[in-house]
């Protein structure tokens, strides 16, 4: 565009983003890791239950 911006920017210059709060970012990353770990544990338990429920009866 004539003002030196691209159409993807909507014709406006990109504003700088807000300063990153590194302590908050670290806390969020730790919470995400904990949630992923818990989700993996739950998936493992569900797989055990599914195996138990679908086993052939002898």
Using one digit for the tens of pLDDT, what is the confidence trace for 21-40? 888 999 999 999 999 999 99
SS3 state at 5:
coil
Q: What is the CA radius of gyration of the chain?
A: 24
Q: Are 4 and 13 in contact (CB under 8 A)?
A: yes
d(CA 6, CA 22): 31
Scanning the chain, the segments in alpha helix (DSSP H) are 22-54
**pLDDT beyond 70 at 8:** no
44 vs 13 pLDDT, higher one: 44
Band (pLDDT 50/70/90 cuts) for residue 57 is confident
Q: Are 13 and 3 in contact (CB under 8 A)?
A: yes
pLDDT, average across residues 40-50: 98
pLDDT of residue 42: 98
């Amino acid at each position: 565009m004539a003002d030196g911006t691209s159409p993807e920017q909507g014709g406006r210059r990109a504003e700088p983003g807000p300063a990153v709060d590194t302590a908050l970012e670290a806390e969020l990353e730790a919470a995400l890791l904990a949630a992923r770990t818990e989700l993996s544990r739950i998936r493992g338990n569900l797989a055990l239950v599914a195996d138990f429920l679908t086993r052939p009866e002898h």
